[in-house]
A = this chain, B = another copy of it.
Amino acid sequence: MSPTNISPSRGRPRRFDPDQAVETAQQLFHTYGYDAVSVADVTGALGINPPSFYAAFGNKAGLYLRVLDRYAKTGAIDLAGILRADRPVAQCLIAVLEEAARRYAANNGAVGCLVLEGTHSTDAGARSVCCATHAAAEDVIRRYIAERHPEEAGRLTDFVSATMSGMSDKARNGQDLDRLLATARLAGLAIDQALPAQALC
């Protein structure tokens, strides 16, 4: 039934912590991209041998799923928290863009958005899971806008998403926080104009 540990400690104990391994792998994938990080890179960084890696994660794609899961909890933007029903839609969308700018700015070399970067991978599996993750995030934005501005939801979601992709790209090309924030705020001018100050709520 359950393929993972049923009894917490039977057999020879692991010499490494899988959760910390996921953290290390996240740093590697985020910094260099899925394609550029080989299994040998990961095992080398962890100081383990390939069989230990495959016993713990199945394969490279399995590790990547764990990394994406961790990213959703620790590195990604909390859309549900920012897109508030008690504030103007435009203001919240701009807050998303500004938060993206902050997250995408350099963090120990792990720059840009891990998911958007994974969207460009050559590996079909990595690409599709990232595209699905990204599409889900877009849906959250789209539904949020649609509740109060149904006719604008489509194009505004496209615009916000494109701006985030662009910012992730620019972050990876070396733009610092200030420049990313400036782009977010310029995009905000368009959002403000497309969603003219409605009565609150």
| Interface positions of A (Cβ within 8 A of B) | 33, 35-36, 116-117, 119-120, 122, 131, 154-156, 158-159, 161-167, 169-170, 173, 175, 179, 182-183, 186-191, 193-194
A38 → chain B closest CB, angstroms: 11
Q: How many copies does the complex hold?
A: 2
B162 in contact with A166 (CB, 8 Å): yes
B175 in contact with A159 (CB, 8 Å): no
Known: A158-B175, A189-B190, A189-B194. 12 other contacts (CB 8 A): A36-B122, A120-B120, A155-B179, A155-B186, A158-B170, A161-B166, A161-B170, A186-B194, A187-B187, A188-B190, A190-B190, A193-B193
A133 → chain B closest CB, angstroms: 13
A16 → chain B closest CB, angstroms: 27
